[in-house]
Amino acid sequence: MSTFTIEMECEQVDAILVQVLKEQYLSLKHELDLRLSDDYTGVGIFDKDKDADCAEIQSHMDAVAKVLSDNMVFEDYKDWKSDEK
Protein backbone atom coordinates (compact mmCIF):
# COMPACT_ATOMS: atom_id res chain seq x y z
CA MET A 1 0.00 0.00 0.00
CA SER A 2 1.29 3.45 -0.89
CA THR A 3 1.28 6.42 1.42
CA PHE A 4 0.75 9.96 0.18
CA THR A 5 1.04 13.27 1.96
CA ILE A 6 -1.21 16.10 0.87
CA GLU A 7 -0.58 19.63 2.03
CA MET A 8 -3.74 21.66 2.52
CA GLU A 9 -4.63 25.00 4.00
CA CYS A 10 -6.85 24.98 7.10
CA GLU A 11 -9.62 26.60 5.09
CA GLN A 12 -9.56 23.71 2.61
CA VAL A 13 -9.85 21.15 5.40
CA ASP A 14 -12.71 23.13 6.95
CA ALA A 15 -14.53 23.28 3.61
CA ILE A 16 -14.23 19.50 3.17
CA LEU A 17 -15.44 18.91 6.73
CA VAL A 18 -18.43 21.21 6.24
CA GLN A 19 -19.36 19.56 2.93
CA VAL A 20 -19.21 16.04 4.40
CA LEU A 21 -21.25 17.07 7.44
CA LYS A 22 -23.89 18.69 5.23
CA GLU A 23 -24.15 15.46 3.23
CA GLN A 24 -24.47 13.42 6.44
CA TYR A 25 -27.14 15.78 7.73
CA LEU A 26 -29.13 15.48 4.51
CA SER A 27 -28.80 11.69 4.61
CA LEU A 28 -30.09 11.57 8.19
CA LYS A 29 -32.91 13.95 7.27
CA HIS A 30 -33.87 11.69 4.38
CA GLU A 31 -33.84 8.64 6.67
CA LEU A 32 -35.96 10.47 9.24
CA ASP A 33 -38.50 11.47 6.60
CA LEU A 34 -38.66 7.86 5.41
CA ARG A 35 -39.01 6.53 8.96
CA LEU A 36 -41.81 8.98 9.72
CA SER A 37 -43.79 7.92 6.66
CA ASP A 38 -46.56 5.37 7.10
CA ASP A 39 -45.23 3.39 4.13
CA TYR A 40 -41.87 2.61 5.79
CA THR A 41 -41.30 -1.13 6.09
CA GLY A 42 -37.65 -1.22 7.25
CA VAL A 43 -36.40 -1.96 10.74
CA GLY A 44 -34.87 1.44 11.43
CA ILE A 45 -31.32 2.66 11.85
CA PHE A 46 -30.86 2.71 15.62
CA ASP A 47 -33.95 0.98 16.99
CA LYS A 48 -36.81 -1.21 15.85
CA ASP A 49 -39.24 1.06 17.71
CA LYS A 50 -40.30 3.87 15.37
CA ASP A 51 -40.47 6.61 18.01
CA ALA A 52 -37.14 5.67 19.59
CA ASP A 53 -35.50 5.45 16.17
CA CYS A 54 -36.84 8.85 15.08
CA ALA A 55 -35.67 10.42 18.35
CA GLU A 56 -32.17 8.99 17.89
CA ILE A 57 -31.99 10.11 14.25
CA GLN A 58 -33.05 13.61 15.33
CA SER A 59 -30.43 13.57 18.09
CA HIS A 60 -27.74 12.75 15.53
CA MET A 61 -29.03 15.47 13.20
CA ASP A 62 -28.85 17.97 16.06
CA ALA A 63 -25.27 16.93 16.80
CA VAL A 64 -24.23 17.32 13.16
CA ALA A 65 -25.95 20.73 13.03
CA LYS A 66 -24.05 21.80 16.17
CA VAL A 67 -20.70 20.82 14.65
CA LEU A 68 -21.66 22.65 11.45
CA SER A 69 -22.58 25.78 13.40
CA ASP A 70 -19.12 25.69 15.00
CA ASN A 71 -17.37 25.29 11.63
CA MET A 72 -19.31 27.67 9.39
CA VAL A 73 -19.51 31.43 9.22
CA PHE A 74 -22.68 32.40 11.09
CA GLU A 75 -24.38 33.95 8.05
CA ASP A 76 -23.63 30.86 5.94
CA TYR A 77 -24.99 28.62 8.68
CA LYS A 78 -28.18 30.70 8.95
CA ASP A 79 -28.66 30.53 5.18
CA TRP A 80 -28.06 26.77 5.15
CA LYS A 81 -30.51 26.16 8.02
CA SER A 82 -33.18 28.29 6.39
CA ASP A 83 -32.77 26.28 3.16
CA GLU A 84 -33.19 23.02 5.11
CA LYS A 85 -36.67 23.86 6.37
* Higher-scoring residue by pLDDT: 57, 72: 57
Rounded average pLDDT over 33-37: 93
72 pLDDT more than 90 = no
pLDDT of residue 41: 82
Rounded average pLDDT over 46-66: 94
Q: State the average pLDDT for the chain.
A: 90
Q: 19-26: long-range contacts (C-beta < 8 A, 24 or more apart)?
A: 21/64, 21/67, 21/68, 21/71, 22/68, 22/80, 24/64, 25/61, 25/64, 25/65, 25/68, 25/84
pLDDT of residue 85: 62
